[in-house]
Chain A
Amino acid sequence: MAIRACLGLMILLVFSSTISTALFEDQVGLADWHQKYIGKVKHAIFHTQKTGRKRVVVSTEENVVASLDLRTGDIFWRHVLGKIDRIDQVDITLGKYVVTLSSGGSILRAWNLPDGQMIWESILQVSAPSKSLLHVPANMNVGKDNLILVFGGSSIHALSSTDGQIVWRKELSTNSLEIQQVFQPHDSDIIYALGFIGSSEFVAYYVNYKTGEVLQQSKASFKSGFCGEASLASDDVVVALDASRTYLVSISFRNGVINFQQIYIRDLIPEFSGKATLLPSKYNGILAVDIASSIVLLRVKGVNELEIIEKINYPSAISDALPLSKEQQAFAILQHDESRIHFKVKFDTDLTNEVLKETIQMDGQRGNIEKVFINNYMRTDRTHGFRVLVVMEDHSLLLVQQGEIVWSREDGLASIVDSTTSELPVEKEGVSVAEVEHSLFEWLKGHFLKLKGTLMLASPDEVAAIQAIRLKSFEKNKMTRDHNGFRKLIIVLTRAGKVLALHTGDGRVVWSVLLPVLRKSETCGNPFALNVYQWQVPHHHAMHENPSVLVVGRCGHNFDAPGIFSIVDAYNGKVHNSLVLEHSVRHIMPLPLTDSTEQNLHIVIDDNLHAHLYPKTSDSVKIFLDEMPNIYWYSVEVGKNIIKGYSLEIKGELDMAENVFQPKELWSIVFPSESETIALTATRKMNEIVHTQAKIVADQDVMYKYISTNILFVATVAPKASGEIGSATPEEAWLYAYLIDTVSGRILHRVSHQGAQGPIHAVVSENWVVYHYFNLRAHRHEMSVIEIYDQSREDNKDVWKLVLGKHNLTAPISSYSKPEVTVKSQSYFFTHSVKSLAVTVTAKGITSKQLLIGTIGDQVLALDKRFLDPRRSVNPTQSEKEEGIIPLTDSLPIVPQSYVTHALQVEGLRGIVTTPAKLESTTLVFSYGVDLFFTRIAPSRTYDSLTEDFSYALLLLTIVALVAALLVTWALSEKKELREKWR
């Protein structure tokens, strides 16, 4: 009976999973949330006319151009230009178009300011991508066809701002010319373009604005060379820094005569040491120099006369000049004072007095100010008011006005580097739940409303009320662990070195911390964040100990730079411990071992391939030494095309304080560099759970999956075809797929795909790997699957052997045994190109799997793994059909309802992370890019729980109705009987 029930359930599962798991419209937002970000702001342009006054146009390091509401910080519109299309500059022309210059000065686009629609796009011929400048003449009269000038490479392009047509193009010099400054004196048709040729020659061009004719050109070389920075001080003086960054060179170029004048910075500023930087600014006769400890404002009085006006101590920031009238400019100075920020606005005509002085309280977890953009507005009393847009060290964006932070955006979340999850605290007795829970009356009212909704009796207002109740159900936003495991903390690490915890219920930031070790300091000049791992997950002491995460970084981009560790409490973001390591960090291996305090053991491999054990306690060393003979690791050297496998050994005495282990090379695989280069490697997730090794196939047969956690998938491509699609012909492109056992270095399977090329994406799970690539012959993307089965356990199918105990089911598997495996594979066409691949994971591994495909349209598509079954055939037999095998098709179907992200887009999608919930049927999916999206999905539907919108009230009502009917009929029958008897 039980078997039959089981079978029935299985069949139900199989059938139910073919039904798409689409959402209804009113279910959007119940279990999912979506957050939009833009990234760290590089440029901001305020618009001063009419409706545009409420908006600011920004471009960011994530290559987003966006229009934000100045009152609230909301996004009006935005465009993500893509990874390779870097935005160089942004400006506004004709009062209605936003102009962006991107891709090294080669693409110029105009967007409509109100709605963000693209108006025109021009591709410019630039000899080599280089520093480029966009010049939009400010003194233009609307109506006249104005020209936009683009200086890039060694040429000038002039484009019409109405339609983007190139009006004229001028080649200035074939040498390495870099234009630094462009300006147009008031009411003149002459453009001044100043720049450097090479590193030692200064050049000034006078160009006719209308025709592009070079009217005059003057050059002069300076023997100690320039560092490439220059700042315009006045109409005929430009100030540059020399190559050593210790001298200021003021250059006058009046009437084509160039004069150099050197000024030693230390003569001006006695405490100066090190290197100076010129801050890009456009002030009349004022120069901002950034020396290591402060910003110095200098007034340029003449060619050889500079005067210090003010020294602003670090940390501080200074804005560009904001022209108020023809003579007057204003600029903002922001200065840190512990948790406060002093905000000053000054006019360049009167530098001693401040127009505005305010103090703002600042949250300590935002770091220093990085950039300031100033904007003015008319106050109610008709005086000038000023507000500033501030970019902080953690990439967040704030608007400051009248001494307050009007709004802030946590835009660091647009650049997530890595993420992990943490459980929430267990619900403790004594912690008041009452404030979270509604009163009984409220609860009843809610259910009554729901009941009305189900019975189609609700009015439109009530329907809206029901939806509102569902969306902000307190249940999902509680700060405690739930029975189903839906509530968790997603702990993310951003590029700025900030760690944030997001609640899975609604995506709010629970805590955030800007790690002090990941901030720029003297010991660590260029830190960057690498990964985040689970450091301590208390099970025994879950009630009074908090879990913690390990954040790993590196000082500088080289592999030999010292590593950074920081241990952060997962519940409150408190930094327990942080240190700069003495060695570098190349790989980190979390081991499946914990010490007595439930800290996970980690092995850090440094640049010399020495292994360091963390935590550095004698307890952990003892645990580790027991397991050391069974620990193997490998390293992939992409540049050299070598994969090497190692074990660990102790040379000489083990230094208990250091815990350093030496590598012992066990195996190596050398790919011939003339025919193969490593394109991608992929492994199984360490925490993945496989429910059973046996796979029941048609006709009651059993196949044994080859489940090894040590499988490494490697894809290599032809060196010629390692570029973009189309860079190689089908004959010179090929792809090799390898399955490698990382303990013994055995190649379990090797297969070639002719005419295939990258980009390759792969995902490994259980006993299969799915990879995506481009087939040049078929001109289509393809997805291939390889499933690997263990043959050594085939004999166990004999019942008699099982009965007599002669099976090897309990024998441990050794990687050193000769593998007896069979491999099944199949390829299918797939329409989309792919940005990311992932697979669902569930708590016990029983639920069938779905592939999560990040499509080129920045959406996440769920594709049942059964479509990627290598055993699919054109005409499956009856028993195969019962097993759930789908008839073979040449391409994989894309069912519109199976988009996990439904109607939303996760702009700039970079990664998809899956985490199991406690409920076996459900997986939590977190996808990130510029946007964040979270949802939970059930690949085989929620077979183990009632859905959230299940109407208990309706069930109750039905039962009550049934009982009443029972009583009534009973009474009636009783009456009738009596009547019959008396008859």
Chain B
Amino acid sequence: MSEGWCCGRSLALFALVILLPIWIARGFQSDELLQDDEEFGLEGGRPAAGPKPSTNPVRSPIRRRPDLDPPSGSADSNSVQFSLEHNLGGSEFSPAGTFTARLKSWSHGGQTLTKLRFSRNALTEGEKRAFERLLKEDGHYTIRVPSNVLNPSGEDYVISSVRARCIPRESLDEHFVIHTDGVNIIAVNYGSAGACRYPRLLRYPAKWSFTSYTVLKNSEQAPRTPTFAEELLAGEDGLGEGVKPPEKSFWAKYWLYLVPLGFIVMNAMTQAMNMPEEQQVAGQSTSQGQVAQRAPTTTTTTTTTVRRR
């Protein structure tokens, strides 16, 4: 277990986003996870009252299981089996495979399903022909599993369908997401392992066998509403220093004063530089007359421009 299963709540948040793809991709599975889970359950102080397995944000182990794996642990009293049935366009459902899962009991009485394994039956010739027909007419391939795995009453099934043309790739790639709540299956989402492009083209698989990916999902818990009561109180205590504006740089604070100051300085400098020159000029002629003469010329030029317009 390389992933950090240390802190309690982040487990619920992280698992779905980060862990699932890793598991699917690597097919990595470990018993340690279960162990950790159990410890977490004991330490985390789950409310002991009431049978509500659904309340626990349990991240069940999720794994890929290639087919042809013998259903193990059938002798184990803790394991349950339930069958997958499929419908190839007719009205009847027929067995297509078996799920095996470990039943895990919690200290407070709830039970959850973990360690899901799946073995797919090989397609018979008849089924293969039926599947080909489905592919041709772009029909729905439907599967179902019992909603209550402990005592399948034979009435309530969760059903899922996909357009048959979404499944074939190299082999027949299928992807199950089983949403559980305790020992109940709420829904099974069945589909292709990847995208299903819309203009669905007729394509036959190279290999007429299923490659199955299964994911077991429990509900995640909503993030708690943030409460700022303490902070608000703290703010009220120190009224004056409650929120300090961020410190600004010197330039940002005083540019208003610095810019005019700069102008004044520059003005003074140019004046200081002009001063000696003018004093020199002043000796030769009166600057007054020059200025007076220059003024009319400038005005005439401007008026001409106006008239030209």
> A residues near B, CB below 8 A?
629, 642, 644, 647, 664-672, 675-676, 718, 731-732, 734, 736-737, 744-747, 750-754, 775, 778, 782, 784, 792, 811-814, 816-818, 822, 825-829, 874, 888-890, 977, 980-981
Task: State in angstroms the CA–CA spacing of A814 and B201 once bound together.
Answer: 13
9 A-B pairs with the lowest CB-CB distances in the bound complex, closest first? A672-B184, A812-B198, A670-B147, A666-B161, A816-B196, A817-B195, A827-B225, A669-B187, A746-B189
Q: Are B54 and A826 in contact (CB under 8 A)?
A: no
Q: Are A750 and B194 in contact (CB under 8 A)?
A: no
Question: Most A CB atoms within 10 A — which of B159, B199, B224?
Answer: B159
Q: Are B191 and A827 in contact (CB under 8 A)?
A: no
Q: Are B225 and A775 in contact (CB under 8 A)?
A: yes
**A-B contacts, 26 listed (Cβ < 8 Å):** A667-B187, A668-B159, A669-B186, A670-B184, A672-B148, A676-B54, A676-B181, A731-B52, A734-B52, A744-B160, A745-B160, A745-B187, A747-B177, A747-B179, A750-B179, A750-B186, A750-B219, A751-B220, A751-B221, A754-B221, A782-B225, A784-B222, A817-B195, A825-B223, A874-B226, A889-B226
Specify which chain B residues have a CB less than 8 angstroms from the CB of A664 in the assembled complex: 140
Give the residue name and chain of the A residue nearest to B296 (CB).
A980
> B residues near A, CB below 8 A?
17, 47, 49-50, 52, 54-55, 57, 138, 140, 142, 147-148, 156-163, 166, 175, 177, 179, 181-182, 184-187, 189, 191-199, 217, 219-229, 296, 299-300, 303
Q: Are A672 and B182 in contact (CB under 8 A)?
A: yes
Q: Are A731 and B222 in contact (CB under 8 A)?
A: no
Q: How distant is A923 from chain B, measured CB to nearest CB, in Å?
A: 29
Specify which chain B residues have a CB less than 8 angstroms from the CB of A668 in the assembled complex: 157-159, 187
Q: How distant is B161 from chain A, measured CB to nearest CB, in Å?
A: 4
Q: A668-B157, A670-B158 are in contact. Are A752 and B196 (CB under 8 A)?
A: no
Specify which chain A residues have a CB less than 8 angstroms from the CB of B166 in the assembled complex: 814, 816-817
Give the residue name and chain of the A residue nearest to B148 (CB).
A672
Partner of B17, one of A672, A752, A814, A822: A822
Question: Most A CB atoms within 10 A — which of B54, B192, B194?
Answer: B54
Specify which chain A residues have a CB less than 8 angstroms from the CB of B163 in the assembled complex: 816
Q: How distant is B297 from chain A, measured CB to nearest CB, in Å?
A: 12
Q: Are A747 and B195 in contact (CB under 8 A)?
A: no
Specify which chain B residues have a CB less than 8 angstroms from the CB of A816 in the assembled complex: 162-163, 166, 191-192, 196
Specify which chain A residues have a CB less than 8 angstroms from the CB of B160 in the assembled complex: 666-667, 744-745
Q: Are A670 and B156 in contact (CB under 8 A)?
A: yes
Task: State in angstroms the CA–CA spacing of A676 and B177 once bound together.
Answer: 20
Q: A667-B159, A667-B161 are in contact. Are A778 and B225 (CB under 8 A)?
A: yes
Q: Are B181 and A675 in contact (CB under 8 A)?
A: yes
Partner of B226, one of A775, A890, A981: A890
Q: Are A629 and B222 in contact (CB under 8 A)?
A: no
Q: How distant is B132 from chain A, measured CB to nearest CB, in Å?
A: 19
Give the residue name and chain of the A residue nearest to B48 (CB).
A731
Task: State in angstroms the CA–CA spacing of A734 and B296 once bound together.
Answer: 91
Specify which chain A residues have a CB less than 8 angstroms from the CB of B220 in the assembled complex: 750-752
Specify which chain A residues have a CB less than 8 angstroms from the CB of B198 in the assembled complex: 811-814
Give the residue name and chain of the B residue nearest to A734 (CB).
B55
Give the residue name and chain of the A residue nearest to B181 (CB).
A672
Task: State in angstroms the CA–CA spacing of A890 and B185 once bound together.
Answer: 35
Task: State in angstroms the CA–CA spacing of A818 and B191 once bound together.
Answer: 7
Q: How distant is A700 from chain B, measured CB to nearest CB, in Å?
A: 23
Q: How distant is A913 from chain B, measured CB to nearest CB, in Å?
A: 30
Main secondary structure on B side of the interface with A? mixed
Task: Give 9 A-B pairs besides A647-B140, A750-B217, A778-B225 with Cβ atoms closer than 8 angstroms.
Answer: A642-B156, A664-B140, A666-B160, A667-B158, A668-B187, A670-B187, A744-B162, A750-B220, A754-B55
Task: State in angstroms the CA–CA spacing of A288 and B300 once bound together.
Answer: 111
Q: Are B219 and A752 in contact (CB under 8 A)?
A: yes
Q: A778-B225, A816-B166 are in contact. Are A751 and B197 (CB under 8 A)?
A: no
Question: Most B CB atoms within 10 A — which of A642, A747, A752, A827?
Answer: A752
Question: Most A CB atoms within 10 A — which of B186, B198, B299?
Answer: B186
Specify which chain B residues have a CB less than 8 angstroms from the CB of A667 in the assembled complex: 158-161, 187
Give the residue name and chain of the A residue nearest to B87 (CB).
A665
Task: State in angstroms the CA–CA spacing of A981 and B49 once bound together.
Answer: 104
Give the residue name and chain of the B residue nearest to A812 (CB).
B198
Q: Are A826 and B223 in contact (CB under 8 A)?
A: yes
Q: How distant is B21 from chain A, measured CB to nearest CB, in Å?
A: 10
Specify which chain A residues have a CB less than 8 angstroms from the CB of B197 in the assembled complex: 811-812, 814, 817
Task: State in angstroms the CA–CA spacing of A676 and B221 once bound together.
Answer: 15
Q: Are A829 and B221 in contact (CB under 8 A)?
A: no
Give the residue name and chain of the A residue nearest to B189 (CB).
A746
Q: Are B303 and A977 in contact (CB under 8 A)?
A: yes
Q: How distant is B302 from chain A, measured CB to nearest CB, in Å?
A: 9
Q: Are A827 and B222 in contact (CB under 8 A)?
A: yes
Give the residue name and chain of the A residue nearest to B162 (CB).
A816
Q: Are B225 and A828 in contact (CB under 8 A)?
A: yes
Give the residue name and chain of the B residue nearest to A746 (CB).
B189
Task: State in angstroms the CA–CA spacing of A830 and B5 once bound together.
Answer: 34
Partner of B219, one of A666, A751, A778, A813: A751
Q: A672-B184, A731-B50, A828-B225 are in contact. Are A747 and B189 (CB under 8 A)?
A: yes
Partner of A752, one of B55, B191, B194, B228: B55
Specify which chain B residues have a CB less than 8 angstroms from the CB of A817 in the assembled complex: 166, 191-192, 194-197
Q: How distant is B22 from chain A, measured CB to nearest CB, in Å?
A: 15
Q: Are A814 and B225 in contact (CB under 8 A)?
A: no
Specify which chain A residues have a CB less than 8 angstroms from the CB of B195 in the assembled complex: 792, 814, 817-818
Q: How distant is A559 from chain B, measured CB to nearest CB, in Å?
A: 21
Q: How distant is B295 from chain A, measured CB to nearest CB, in Å?
A: 10
Give the residue name and chain of the B residue nearest to A816 (CB).
B196
Task: State in angstroms the CA–CA spacing of A750 and B192 once bound together.
Answer: 21
Q: A666-B142, A814-B196, A814-B198 are in contact. Are A827 and B161 (CB under 8 A)?
A: no
Question: Most A CB atoms within 10 A — which of B182, B191, B196, B217?
Answer: B191
Q: How distant is A822 from chain B, measured CB to nearest CB, in Å?
A: 7
Q: How distant is A771 from chain B, measured CB to nearest CB, in Å?
A: 11
Specify which chain B residues have a CB less than 8 angstroms from the CB of A890 in the assembled complex: 225-229
Q: Are A751 and B158 in contact (CB under 8 A)?
A: no
Give the residue name and chain of the A residue nearest to B17 (CB).
A822
Give the residue name and chain of the B residue nearest to A792 (CB).
B195
Q: Are B162 and A675 in contact (CB under 8 A)?
A: no
Q: Are A736 and B219 in contact (CB under 8 A)?
A: yes
Specify which chain A residues have a CB less than 8 angstroms from the CB of B159 in the assembled complex: 644, 665-668, 745
Specify which chain B residues have a CB less than 8 angstroms from the CB of A732 in the assembled complex: 50, 52
Q: Are B186 and A671 in contact (CB under 8 A)?
A: yes
Q: A811-B198, A814-B196, A818-B175 are in contact. Are A669 and B138 (CB under 8 A)?
A: no
Q: Are A629 and B225 in contact (CB under 8 A)?
A: no
Q: Are B223 and A744 in contact (CB under 8 A)?
A: no
Q: How distant is B182 from chain A, measured CB to nearest CB, in Å?
A: 7
Q: How distant is B290 from chain A, measured CB to nearest CB, in Å?
A: 19
Specify which chain B residues have a CB less than 8 angstroms from the CB of A736 in the assembled complex: 54, 219
Specify which chain B residues have a CB less than 8 angstroms from the CB of A671 in the assembled complex: 186
Q: A666-B140, A736-B219, A890-B226 are in contact. Are A731 and B182 (CB under 8 A)?
A: no
Q: Are A675 and B227 in contact (CB under 8 A)?
A: no
Q: Are A827 and B224 in contact (CB under 8 A)?
A: yes
Task: State in angstroms the CA–CA spacing of A291 and B52 once bound together.
Answer: 58
Task: State in angstroms the CA–CA spacing of A665 and B140 once bound together.
Answer: 10
Q: How distant is A709 from chain B, measured CB to nearest CB, in Å?
A: 15
Q: Are A731 and B140 in contact (CB under 8 A)?
A: no
Q: How distant is B20 from chain A, measured CB to nearest CB, in Å?
A: 11
Task: State in angstroms the CA–CA spacing of A751 and B52 once bound together.
Answer: 15
Specify which chain B residues have a CB less than 8 angstroms from the CB of A750 in the assembled complex: 179, 186, 217, 219-220
Task: State in angstroms the CA–CA spacing of A495 and B182 once bound together.
Answer: 44
Q: How distant is A799 from chain B, measured CB to nearest CB, in Å?
A: 23
Q: How distant is A772 from chain B, measured CB to nearest CB, in Å?
A: 13
Give the residue name and chain of the A residue nearest to B143 (CB).
A667
Q: How distant is B168 from chain A, measured CB to nearest CB, in Å?
A: 13
Task: State in angstroms the CA–CA spacing of A817 and B179 once bound together.
Answer: 18
Q: How distant is B298 from chain A, measured CB to nearest CB, in Å?
A: 11
Q: Are B196 and A675 in contact (CB under 8 A)?
A: no
Specify which chain B residues have a CB less than 8 angstroms from the CB of A818 in the assembled complex: 175, 191-195
